[in-house]
Amino acid sequence: MKVLVPVKRVVDYNVKVRVKSDGSGVDIANVKMSMNPFDEIALEEAMRLKEAGKVAEVVAVSCGVAQCQETLRTGMAIGADRGILVETSAELEPLAVAKLLKALADKEQPQLIILGKQAIDDDSNQTGQMLAALLGWPQATFASKVVLEDGKVTVTREVDGGLETLALTLPAIITTDLRLNEPRYVTLPNIMKAKKKPLDTVKPEDLGVDVTPRLKTLKVSEPAKRSAGVKVPDVATLVAKLRNEAKVI
């Protein structure tokens, strides 16, 4: 059984994001980049399924610029057997990524695709759902527990009212939530081994996919600065400030 795990290269979650002076986007020059944390969780879950003997091969996939090879190498250091880079300099939107992943799924024929529920840069939370629609596969989003057995996968997912358990027939798509697992640390020996693992590069046109952007970013701006908090001596003063200054009551 083969599992496909898409991984995205994003600004590291520890980095304070800066907006370009012209407001055209986020400044990523000389900024530390890393694997999207939700995708790390997805890859960790795929590796646990492989270590349990239920998966034979884990393939990491990334779409973007040539530097995404670093993200794929990290994925292979975590344990992925090989990597595939769909190289393009175009600004990829969720639908374009979903189309690229569908083309790869048609080619690779995985039984399971596990990906993060969203990326921490655009926060779209769309790619997994769009991919399921394009492939016509069942999906389980926001997974907090995954059990694979007897040709089906049982997924516990978090909903507003608590937990919901779904049983999906394979092939299927799962998007991962934070509480699914704790990703492992990458060790130096595994980093060295990852350098020898195969990494294939293809172009969107090789897959027959048009990735021309359909959306245009008009302006990117930082959130307004919050004013400093103040201490009040009693409840009466607090209520007065909320009514007269903040005007929220």
Q: What is the pLDDT of residue 141?
A: 93
Under the banding of pLDDT at 50, 70 and 90, the label for residue 145 is: very high
Q: What is the pLDDT of residue 165?
A: 95
Q: What is the pTM of this model?
A: 0.84
Q: What is the pLDDT of residue 150?
A: 82
Least confident among 23-27, 130-134, 140-144, 168-172: 23-27
Q: Tell me the average pLDDT of the chain.
A: 91
Could you please report the per-residue DSSP string of 170-227? SSEEEEE-GGG--PPPPPHHHHHHHTTS-EEEE-GGGGT-----S-------PPPPPP
- Does 162 or 138 have the greater pLDDT score? 138
Contact assessment for residue 75 and residue 5, using Cβ atoms and an 8 Å cutoff: yes
Rounded to whole angstroms, what are the CA distances from 156 to 94, 102, 139, 236?
25, 25, 12, 47
- 68 φ, ψ to 5°? -65, -15
Asked whether the predicted pLDDT for residue 30 surpasses 90, the reply is no
Q: Which residues pair with 139 in a beta bridge?
A: 173
Asked whether the predicted pLDDT for residue 228 surpasses 90, the reply is no
Asked whether the predicted pLDDT for residue 27 surpasses 90, the reply is no
Give the full edge-to-edge strand order of the sheet including 139-149: 162-169, 152-159, 139-149, 172-176, 112-116, 2-6, 57-64, 82-87, 199-202
Rounded to whole angstroms, what are the CA distances from 130 to 3, 95, 134?
18, 7, 6
Residue ranges of domains in the chain, CATH in brackets? 2-244 (3.40.50.620)
Q: What is the pLDDT of residue 222?
A: 84
Residue 95's SS3 state is helix
Average pLDDT for residues 207-230, to the nearest whole number?
Answer: 86
Asked whether the predicted pLDDT for residue 28 surpasses 90, the reply is no
Q: What is the pLDDT of residue 151?
A: 83
Q: What is the pLDDT of residue 171?
A: 94
Q: What is the pLDDT of residue 219?
A: 87
Q: What is the pLDDT of residue 198?
A: 94
Asked whether the predicted pLDDT for residue 140 surpasses 90, the reply is yes
Average pLDDT for residues 228-232, to the nearest whole number?
Answer: 86
Residue listed under structure tokens 């990852």? 194
Asked whether the predicted pLDDT for residue 73 surpasses 90, the reply is yes
Under the banding of pLDDT at 50, 70 and 90, the label for residue 29 is: confident
Dist. CA 220–CA 144, nearest whole Å: 33
Q: What is the pLDDT of residue 201?
A: 94
> How many CB atoms sit inside 10 A of residue 64's CB?
20
Amino acid at 27: D
Residues 6+ apart with CB under 8 A from 81: 57, 58, 59, 197
Dist. CA 4–CA 29, nearest whole Å: 30
Asked whether the predicted pLDDT for residue 82 surpasses 90, the reply is yes
Under the banding of pLDDT at 50, 70 and 90, the label for residue 26 is: confident
